[in-house]
Structure 1
Amino acid sequence: MNMAMMRLRREDPRVVGSFRLHRRLGAGGMGVVYLGSDKKGQRVALKVIRPDLAEDQEFRSRFAREVSAARRIRGGCTARLVAADLDADRPWFATQYVPGPSLHDKVNDEGPLGAAELAAIGAALSEGLVAVHEAGVVHRDLKPSNILLSPKGPRIIDFGIAWATGASTLTHVGTAVGSPGFLAPEQVRGALVTPATDVFSLGATLAYASTADSPFGHGSSEVMLYRVVHEEPHLHGVPDALAPLIRACLAKDPEERPSTLDLSLRLKEIAAREAQGMADARPPVPRASEADRPTGRLADSSYPERTLRQPGGPGTPPPRSGVPSSRGPAPSRGGVPSRGGSVSRGGGGNPSSRGGGNPSSRGGSGNPSSRSGSRPTPAGRNTRPGGGGRPAPRSGAGRQGPRTTGTGRRPANPRLLRQRLFVFVVVTLLVALGIAVVQGCQGPARGLGGDNDVVREQHRQTQEHLRPEAVGPLGD
């Protein structure tokens, strides 16, 4: 039965019982199935019996027994019977509407199912058949088009030709009821049906779902029925995990087939094992992608990476201890990192701890402070211990990790470091200037002949003034 929705035709009824009909869901051997809804908005699949069958009293009696048996079925794997009218001019019954494609349509559109998915569907269908058989009903026409794949799991529909356990499959002499290729051998022979009959049909259905083809091939109804009775099924393409169990379901003798309960348990085990195997076969998820690994580069695009060269080009000796370079803080003697480290803004110029050097640089401009008002991030804030001055990756949404030094201790405030460095430079300049002034003042004294000559000349002049002859007579 094709469950694709179609518009109502001119001859189709618009209202049946208390249900309003909206679309055609399909047509089968017994009648037409419609999509309807009641006054509360509940959607149902409503089947109306064909007019010629409605005039057959024997059919009406059988139809009444089937509806009575369907009311006894309990379980989540079947479409629940909602309402029925057996005395109408055209008898009808309504079941719960199941959204979703049929198993036939899914295989036809997407191809064969995998072992894990197929085993899970088979286990659910087997469990549903347990409830059907406990109600004393045999479906007798289980096939891919009568299985709907709803979001809550597979559902068995269309109990239109269901019959009580032990009933014959012949409506007329030599005529079997069901679909060729999915009928059990006892149905073809006209023998009594049992729960094993549905097990055979389920095995043929699972074989179709795993190969997208009937296990007995194609051909006319007579050819197909002959193959079901006398030939072995073709299971080429069925997964190895399911092939032995499906072959057991398709045994010619009903006694050799597994029960629906045993079938459900075994399919659940296969589904769990195949699902575990799929999980183990998946490639391991990398712990961290290449982009997430720390590369020593700032993650924020507002801090572009710049390559700084040492002044003097190649051959220039490395900076002395305590003078950081553009490649990171230079370690002091003994392998201990120097104090303070390198202070860099935006990857800019090099700070210097000796005469006249800039304590910090902004983009290589030599400006000790940022003109935009935003304080750049010191390099020591994003470096890792022993990492050669490379910035560590940021954690969180743009937030930086805790600042650390080579000794594992938190460094002093960068502003305080700059102030100390400035004071050190100023004091150094003042001391150097004072020394130069003192040396300049002593230079002229050395050019007059020395201190001894000056003293000697002053003593000679004093002696001349003190001589007696230099003073005139008192009477003069």
Structure 2
Amino acid sequence: MAMMRLRREDPRVVGSFRLHRRLGAGGMGVVYLGSDRRGQRVALKVIRPDLAEDQEFRSRFAREVSAARRIRGGCTARLVAADLEADRPWFATQYVPGPSLHDKVVEEGPLRAADVAAVGAALSEGLVAVHEAGVVHRDLKPSNILLSPKGPRIIDFGIAWATGASTLTHVGTAVGSPGFLAPEQVRGAAVTPATDVFALGATLAYAAMGDSPFGHGSSEVMLYRVVHEEPQLHGVHDALAPLVSACLAKDPEERPSTLQLSMRLKEIAAREAQGLHDARPPVQRERVELNRPTARYPERTDRTERMETAYGRVVAAPAADAVPYRWRLPAPAAARHGPYERPAGHQAGDAHHLDGPAAGQPAVAASADHRLLRGDADRGAGHRGRPEAVTGQAPGRPVATA
């Protein structure tokens, strides 16, 4: 796990935590490795000075931290402490050792079907807890998932949406990473738990193929594909492809719930771990009644029926030959099928730039008139042309970038 020395301008102590190294920097601030008096390690994020002076940001940030406190479950980095009244607000979360899913795939190649399913099952359970707290992550992607020895952990809720709060970005914008934003985010529509399901589907496709299901290209091209084109899932294992495809449905109402995903992925993980292919003929099984994580997002029986028509019973009792699975870090690719040859020019990203997009994928903003605005990193690279419209609507004045 790459770390950097503290710089001269970096604080040495924040709250009751002593800082040791820089873990990374992003749009909201700098993330440090710290420890408390007992030696417990934390990832501590200190907000940028310009944002600290924005009272509107402070009040929104306080609501986000309040929502984060409500999240329970073992698949997120637990919030340890926060000071919202400090000159520069900060918060500390549990430090999670391990590579990001992005770096794991870049360095060792796509994961096996059993590992993809196991990661997906754990992440689905984590999202159930997140959504039960009334929070939508909005930026789930491979670089925001750490593969710890105890299981995958979802990190970076910096642009999360909380119940009763507007986003931390300027009004009329939606920020995220091309290829992992859901169509409704690109269009500026409301986000729901189904938004995270789309991002999870894109993330699992990346883990299975070693590439985005929407290919490569500029921010405008990538987001156009997300809205208008079908994902390319040719490298996804047959046992996973129908489920991943359902997650990537353009219509949020067509996507499975996180609870349905968790149950189905656990079954696939167990079968694939035994070297079995999920090719059972459709059979009638006893239906399991599901409740959505919160009453705000009621389950739709018609959506469930459509999902079952697409790829058989999603909510089913475990098969008789299925066995429980236990999380373990995916074995290095070289040990499974020889060294992985990375595409030319493909470099590993930094898992600790917790606010920013995945390596090679600049953050973008979709304005209220549905035009795309590049992030500062993209502009700094010399991309100064006018943004292109994704939806084809008449151009208007962009609201603001985040």
Give the TM-score taking structure 2 as reference length.
Answer: 0.67
Alignment of 1:23 with 2:21, yes or no, is: yes
2:160–2:167 Cα contact (<8 Å) kept:
no
Q: Distance in 2 between matches of 1:246 and 1:166?
A: 31
Q: Residue in 1 aligned with 2:220?
A: 222
* Structure 2 residue matching 1:193: 3-state secondary structure: coil
Query: What amino acid maps onto 1:156 in structure 2?
Result: I
Counterparts in 2 of 1:153-192, with a 5 A limit? Answer: 153-165=151-163, 171-172=169-170, 175-192=173-190
Q: Residue in 1 aligned with 2:148?
A: 150
Q: Residue in 1 aligned with 2:92?
A: 94
Unaligned runs of 5+ in 1: 280-476
Q: Residue in 1 aligned with 2:64?
A: 66
1:160 shift after superposition: 1.2
Counterparts in 2 of 1:241-256, with a 5 A limit? Answer: 241-256=239-254
1:174 shift after superposition: 5.4
Query: What amino acid maps onto 1:198 in structure 2?
Result: D
Q: Residue in 1 aligned with 2:12?
A: 14
Q: Distance in 1 between matches of 2:269 and 2:131?
A: 23
* Structure 2 residue matching 1:240: 3-state secondary structure: coil
Output one character per residue of 1:305-361: Cα deviation in whole Å (capped at 9) or x when no partner. Answer: xxxxxxxxxxxxxxxxxxxxxxxxxxxxxxxxxxxxxxxxxxxxxxxxxxxxxxxxx
Q: Residue in 2 aligned with 1:316?
A: none
* Structure 1 residue matching 2:235: 3-state secondary structure: coil
Q: Residue in 2 aligned with 1:133?
A: 131
Output one character per residue of 1:352-405: Cα deviation in whole Å (capped at 9) or x when no partner. Answer: xxxxxxxxxxxxxxxxxxxxxxxxxxxxxxxxxxxxxxxxxxxxxxxxxxxxxx
1:165–1:195 Cα contact (<8 Å) kept:
no
2:60–2:166 Cα contact (<8 Å) kept:
no
Output one character per residue of 1:10-66: Cα deviation in whole Å (capped at 9) or x when no partner. Answer: 221111111111111111221111100011100000011111211222211111011
1:156 shift after superposition: 0.6
Unaligned runs of 5+ in 2: 278-402
Query: What amino acid maps onto 1:144 in structure 2?
Result: P
Query: What amino acid maps onto 1:142 in structure 2?
Result: L
1:169 shift after superposition: 5.7
Query: What amino acid maps onto 2:219 in structure 1?
Result: S
Larger radius of gyration: 1
Q: Residue in 2 aligned with 1:119?
A: 117
Q: Distance in 2 between matches of 1:220 and 1:175?
A: 19
1:165–1:194 Cα contact (<8 Å) kept:
no
1:168–1:192 Cα contact (<8 Å) kept:
no
Q: Distance in 1 between matches of 2:97 and 2:203?
A: 20
Alignment of 1:268 with 2:260, yes or no, is: no
Q: Residue in 2 aligned with 1:5?
A: 3
1:169–1:192 Cα contact (<8 Å) kept:
no
Q: Residue in 1 aligned with 2:40?
A: 42
More helix by share: 1
Output one character per residue of 1:175-233: Cα deviation in whole Å (capped at 9) or x when no partner. Answer: 32111111111111111111000000000000111111111112222222211111111
* Structure 2 residue matching 1:232: 3-state secondary structure: coil
1:172 shift after superposition: 3.1
2:123–2:154 Cα contact (<8 Å) kept:
yes
Q: Residue in 1 aligned with 2:334?
A: none
Give the TM-score taking structure 1 as reference length.
Answer: 0.56
2:47–2:88 Cα contact (<8 Å) kept:
yes
Query: What amino acid maps onto 2:53 in structure 1?
Result: E
After TM superposition, the structure 1 stretch with the greater mean CA deviation from structure 2, 4-13 or 43-52, is: 4-13
* Structure 2 residue matching 1:269: 3-state secondary structure: helix
